């Protein structure tokens, strides 16, 4: 893997964009398959290879973004593959799968196009802040450019055909990653999520399907992909997320006025531990960083940039630590390396 | 009874329409025509669709032995792995997949964007589908001015 992915983290961690105190990032992905080829589940190794070659070539030709790089995941080592998962550029399944597959990544890491994941193509755009409309426009343009070179499997009734019927139609998954510590602390999340599921939306953890929520991060996304237009789907997610943001803000304000000392204690204690720890697990890091992040957002901590906090969430993940060390290290060594990295970042 | 719109398929839905002069008119429709027709039947549509879903849910009796000639997938296999093997499966297993899609999705007609390179006729049909969907939404939201504009646009497209 080349240098660009080792040191600099992606655009989506900048901590900028609308509602960035609560919305970490917005993401839209489109699932597409190529006409005339079997879907992944039934495709032989040879057919997968042909799809991989065809798509990597045509992604290049379509010229969808500046300086796109294509990574062959079949030959990449496990640390590099996990690194891409930690950066949200590929899914866990894509990293752990076997056979010919890859991912094309734009320089700013906003755009990533997975080849031979669950579908032949998964076009994803991910940026910081609450900006679904802009993302839709951009990813739709990219999709159009690709479809000038690639014949998509499309059906007049069912729309874009996908390997799983949960994605058929528009093939769209719209998701927003939210940081909701105040709702979590006051144990009001369950109530919120119940309302969300009534709107046919799903809530997931930091790394998507089947993952635990950690660091008080939650992804809200659509489940319906057929029978509604992309704009309708985006509107639904948008309006529900707006409500959640409003609740989280209300609770944060209530905490500030009603139990300021407790809140300050929690925030400063977390900051102190992170600045002074010598050994720390990934889990504890996420919890403490979550408190610090809210402290920065509420103006309690003034000497720390939100982008630094966002980056630490990712840089302290196992593969990122190992990449930094330049070798595989075990859990005990990672906990030490993690503590050192955090101290260096926070004390400078 | 045969559907009074397409005159081909079996009519499964009976619609009572109230005419402008107050008289009633009864129409018998098949599933597909009912769905097309449903856009203008703003009040009975959801109820009508609900009945359709109710009658189709449950384990399909036929089709479980079906095998796709293109990819070799059987419906049994699909139920186990949750993945389809090729684009043709949507046609081969239509009887089984449609009820499933009705349950997990919002209807059986794609109304979103279409690939740039598909033919003009298909583009027009998709545009028509999209307008009809927008009309349905506008009616549900009681945005009647917008609905009237959409209705005119649909009429115009159909006449062209």
Secondary structure (DSSP) of A184-216: HHTT-HHHHHHHHHHTTEEEEBTTBTT----TT
**Which of A117, A142, A158 should be substituted to probe chain B, the one whose Cβ sees the most B Cβ atoms within 10 Å?**
A158
Compute the average pLDDT of residues A235-255: 95
Q: Is B104 helix (H, G, I), strand (E, B) or coil?
A: helix
Compute the average pLDDT of residues A93-101: 94
Contact across the interface for B116 and A144, Cβ inside 8 Å: yes
Residue with the two structure tokens 């609905």 = B147
Of the partner residues B84, B109, B115, the one whose CB lies closest to the CB of residue A152: B115
Q: Is the pLDDT of residue A206 over 80?
A: no
pLDDT (0 to 100) of residue B90:
96
pLDDT (0 to 100) of residue A207:
66
Alpha-carbon distance B109 to nearest alpha carbon in chain A (angstroms) = 5
Q: Is the pLDDT of residue B76 over 80?
A: yes
pLDDT (0 to 100) of residue A244:
95
Q: Is the pLDDT of residue B28 over 80?
A: no
Q: How many CA atoms lie within 13 A of A237 on its CB side?
A: 32
Rounded to 5 degrees, φ, ψ at B15 are -120, 130
For the ranges A166-170, B10-14, B63-67, the one whose mean pLDDT is highest = A166-170
Alpha-carbon distances of A331 from A80, A213, A279, A280, rounded to whole Å: 17, 21, 11, 10
Of the partner residues A39, A156, A226, the one whose CB lies closest to the CB of residue B105: A226
For residue B95, what are the contacts with CB-CB under 8 A and spacing of at least 6?
Answer: B60, B62, B63
Q: Is the pLDDT of residue A45 over 70?
A: yes
d(CA B125, CA B160): 12
Compute the average pLDDT of residues A270-276: 97
Alpha-carbon distances of A270 from A248, A261, A284, A292, A314, rounded to whole Å: 20, 14, 10, 6, 18
pLDDT (0 to 100) of residue A209:
56
Query: What does the DSSP 8-state code read for residue A174?
Result: E
pLDDT (0 to 100) of residue A26:
95
Contact across the interface for B104 and A153, Cβ inside 8 Å: no
Of the partner residues A38, A154, A225, the one whose CB lies closest to the CB of residue B86: A38
pLDDT (0 to 100) of residue A2:
41
Percent of chain A residues topping a pLDDT of 90? 80
| pLDDT tens per residue, range B93-104 | 999 999 999 999
Contact across the interface for B101 and A168, Cβ inside 8 Å: yes
Compute the average pLDDT of residues A143-166: 94
Alpha helices in chain A (DSSP H): 4-7, 45-62, 78-86, 92-96, 132-147, 181-185, 189-198, 230-258, 260-276, 282-297, 306-315, 318-325, 331-347
Query: pLDDT: is A211 or A134 the higher one?
Result: A134
Q: Is the pLDDT of residue A182 over 90?
A: yes
d(CA B24, CA B21): 9
Q: Are A219 and A240 within 8 A, CB to CB?
A: no
Q: Is the pLDDT of residue B140 over 80?
A: yes
Q: Tell me the chain A residues in contact with residue B72 when contact means C-beta distances shorter than 8 Å.
A: 42
Q: Is the pLDDT of residue B127 over 90?
A: no
* Residue in chain A nearest B119 by alpha carbon: A156
ipTM strictly over 0.90?
Answer: no
Is A224 at the interface with chain B, CB within 8 A? yes
pLDDT (0 to 100) of residue B58:
44
Q: Is the pLDDT of residue A196 over 60?
A: yes
Alpha-carbon distance B110 to nearest alpha carbon in chain A (angstroms) = 5
Burial readout A87-110 (b: 16 or more C-beta within 10 A, e: otherwise): bbbbbbebbebeebbbbbbbebbb
Alpha-carbon distance A247 to nearest alpha carbon in chain B (angstroms) = 26
Alpha-carbon distances of B49 from A167, A227, B12, B104, rounded to whole Å: 22, 13, 12, 14
Contact across the interface for A157 and B122, Cβ inside 8 Å: no
pLDDT level of residue A6 (50, 70, 90 thresholds): very low
pLDDT level of residue A84 (50, 70, 90 thresholds): very high
* Residue in chain B nearest A44 by alpha carbon: B71
* Residue in chain B nearest A120 by alpha carbon: B86
Compute the average pLDDT of residues A26-38: 97
Contact across the interface for A169 and B72, Cβ inside 8 Å: no
pLDDT (0 to 100) of residue B57:
42
Q: Tell me the chain B residues in contact with residue A201 when contact means C-beta distances shorter than 8 Å.
A: none
Alpha-carbon distances of B146 from A125, A230, B37, B138, B155, rounded to whole Å: 32, 19, 19, 7, 14
Q: Tell me the chain B residues in contact with residue A37 when contact means C-beta distances shorter than 8 Å.
A: 86
Q: Is B6 helix (H, G, I), strand (E, B) or coil?
A: coil
Q: Tell me the chain A residues in contact with residue B84 when contact means C-beta distances shorter than 8 Å.
A: 39, 41, 162-165
d(CA A316, CA B158): 59
pLDDT (0 to 100) of residue A348:
73
């Amino acid at each position: 893997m080349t240098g660009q992915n080792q040191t600099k983290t992606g655009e989506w961690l900048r901590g900028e964009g609308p509602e960035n105190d609560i919305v970490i990032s917005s993401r839209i992905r489109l699932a597409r398959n190529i006409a005339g080829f079997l879907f992944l589940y039934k495709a032989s190794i040879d057919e997968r290879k042909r799809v991989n070659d065809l798509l990597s070539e045509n992604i290049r030709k379509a010229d969808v973004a500046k300086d796109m790089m294509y990574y062959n995941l079949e030959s990449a080592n496990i640390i590099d593959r996990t690194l891409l998962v930690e950066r949200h550029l590929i899914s866990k399944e894509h990293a752990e799968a076997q056979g010919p597959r890859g991912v094309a990544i734009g320089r700013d890491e906003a755009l990533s196009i997975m080849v031979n994941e669950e579908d032949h193509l998964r076009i994803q755009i991910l940026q910081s802040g609450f900006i679904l409309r802009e993302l839709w426009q951009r990813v739709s343009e990219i999709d159009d450019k690709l479809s000038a070179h690639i014949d998509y499997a499309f059906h007049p009734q069912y729309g874009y055909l996908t390997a799983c019927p949960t994605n058929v139609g528009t093939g769209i998954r719209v998701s927003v990653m939210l940081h909701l510590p105040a709702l979590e602390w006051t144990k009001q999340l369950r109530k919120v999520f119940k309302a969300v599921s009534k709107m046919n939306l799903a809530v997931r953890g930091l790394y998507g399907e089947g993952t635990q929520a950690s660091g008080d991060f939650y992804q809200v996304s659509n489940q319906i992909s057929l029978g509604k237009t992309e704009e309708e789907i985006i509107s639904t997610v948008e309006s529900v997320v707006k409500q959640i943001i409003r609740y989280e803000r209300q609770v944060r304000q209530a905490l500030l006025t009603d139990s300021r000392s407790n809140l300050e204690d929690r925030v400063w204690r977390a900051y102190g531990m992170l600045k002074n720890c010598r050994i720390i697990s990934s889990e504890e890091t996420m919890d403490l960083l979550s408190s610090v992040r809210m402290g920065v957002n509420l103006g309690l901590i003034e000497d720390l940039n939100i982008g630094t906090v966002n980056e630490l969430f990712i840089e302290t993940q196992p593969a990122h630590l190992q990449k930094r060390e330049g070798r595989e290290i075990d859990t005990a060594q990672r906990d030490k390396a993690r503590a050192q990295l955090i101290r260096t970042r926070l004390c400078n | 009874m045969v559907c009074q719109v397409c005159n081909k398929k079996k009519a499964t839905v009976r619609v009572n329409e109230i005419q402008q002069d107050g008289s009633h008119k009864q129409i018998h429709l098949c599933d597909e025509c009912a769905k097309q027709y449903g856009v203008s039947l703003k009040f009975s549509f959801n109820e009508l669709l609900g009945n359709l879903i109710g009658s189709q849910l449950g384990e399909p009796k036929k089709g479980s032995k079906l095998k796709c000639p293109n990819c070799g997938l059987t419906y049994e296999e699909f139920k186990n792995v949750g993945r389809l093997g090729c684009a043709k499966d949507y046609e081969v297993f239509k009887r089984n997949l449609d009820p499933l899609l009705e349950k997990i999705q919002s209807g059986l007609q794609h109304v979103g964007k279409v690939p740039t390179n598909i033919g003009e006729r298909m583009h027009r049909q998709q545009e028509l589908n999209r307008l009809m969907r927008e009309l349905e939404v506008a009616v549900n939201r009681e945005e009647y001015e917008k609905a009237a504009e959409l209705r005119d646009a649909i009429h115009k497209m159909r006449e062209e």
